[in-house]
Amino acid sequence: MNRCLIFDFDGTLADTLGEGLKIYNDLARQHGYTLIDPEDVEELRHLDTKGLLRHLGIPRHKVPFHLATAMRRLRSRISNLPLNKGIREVLPTLRKHFDHMGILSSNVSENIESFLNAHDLRKEFTFISSIGKLSGKAKHLRAIARTFSLMPHEILYIGDEIRDLQAARKSRVDAVAVTWGLNSRESLARENPAYLIEHPRELLELI
């Protein structure tokens, strides 16, 4: 029986992809990385994090610095960004059926809190876990399990990226892949998630 439902934030709950693309292209111009044309986004959705960084010409060791800069720039804009369509309608029902419902994200907690408060959704989540970097979600999933005295099979992690599904697998947590975010349906399916979901209303089938 699943007792804890954990959401990724960017791309899964919040529609931050468009704003994130603008921020990335600003940084790319400043540092000489490959710009992303909106027409190329669909092709890039098939790449995992390593492949995307290679394509864009971003050294791995510079990612934490650029991510921190991007999160600071996002902070002043995030309250104005929308939820992904259909998310609001399912959250209250999901919350009633799980002991714990939280967020695990590479975004910073200040951004997540601002966004949830702007959309009057903070009350739906019992915790927010921010790692502030691209790697390390598996470790944090295990930490959440210890905090709430949960077994891995009692947790579901919902994400829109290949790295979310890989983190879930590492921590022996079942992954729920959603197709409305960063990575494509095909690339997510290759990771063999427990669930592959096309629309937020399908999340109700997890109950």
Positions marked catalytic: 8
DSSP for the chain, written as a single string: ---EEEE--BTTTB--HHHHHHHHHHHHHHHTPPP--GGGHHHHTT--HHHHHHHHT--GGGHHHHHHHHHHHHHTTGGGSPBPTTHHHHHHHHHHH-SEEEEEESS-HHHHHHHHHHTT-GGG-SEEEE--SSS-HHHHHHHHHHHTT--GGGEEEEESSHHHHHHHHHTTPEEEEETTSSS-HHHHHTT--SEEESSGGGGGGG-
